[in-house]
């Protein structure tokens, strides 16, 4: 059984309907029983209820198209806390949190996210020297320069 990723994306978009969510990832494992993994996010995150609803809607569409006997597993999930941010729309709800950025030139910046625009993010970089911490004025980093961005999780 072979899933057409483009068709799955269309079905998924349809299953999302007018929920305020966007697709972060869609993978299909290449195994005897393919596993379809959908990663969704939204401006305020992803509720369990929305996961269940979209999962049911998508499963119905897959069954209609590929036949009820098609063997596959389906997982609809949100990005884990340790997952890098991949969509500019994911940044807004993390304003006020610390971000760790890896830039295209190899440098790394860590600081509080103060603003997010469709073009990039503004962070107040924190520099640690021995026992002293210095917070620099907010600086703008375009998404084109950001190789990876992760929310820094603190357990204070």
pLDDT tens column, 33-43: 899 999 999 98
Structure tokens at 139: 């600086």
- Of 43-47, 133-137, 149-153, the one with minimum mean pLDDT is 43-47
Domains of the chain, CATH where assigned? 5-77 (3.30.300.70), 84-151 (2.30.30.100)
pLDDT tens column, 56-101: 999 999 999 998 888 899 999 998 878 899 899 999 989 999 999 9
What DSSP designation does 2 have?
-
- How far CA 106 is from CA of 84, 145, 154, in Å, comes to 16, 10, 24
At 29, is the secondary structure helix, strand, or coil?
Answer: coil
pLDDT tens column, 113-134: 999 999 999 999 999 888 899 9
**Number of residues that this document lists for the chain:** 156
């Amino acid at each position: 059984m072979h899933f057409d990723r483009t068709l799955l994306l269309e079905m998924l978009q349809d299953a999302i309907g007018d929920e305020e969510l966007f697709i972060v990832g869609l993978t299909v494992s290449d195994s005897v029983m393919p596993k379809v993994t959908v990663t969704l996010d939204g401006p305020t995150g992803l509720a369990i209820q929305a996961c269940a609803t979209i999962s049911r809607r998508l499963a119905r569409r897959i069954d209609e198209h590929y036949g009820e006997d098609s063997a596959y597993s389906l997982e609809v999930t949100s990005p884990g806390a340790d997952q890098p941010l991949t969509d500019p729309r994911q940044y807004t709800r993390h304003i006020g949190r610390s971000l760790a950025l890896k830039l295209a030139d190899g440098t790394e910046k860590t600081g509080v996210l103060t603003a997010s625009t469709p073009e990039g993010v503004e962070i107040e970089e924190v520099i640690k020297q021995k026992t002293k911490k210095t917070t620099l004025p907010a600086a703008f980093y375009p998404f084109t320069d950001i190789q990876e961005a992760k929310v820094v999780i603190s357990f204070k």
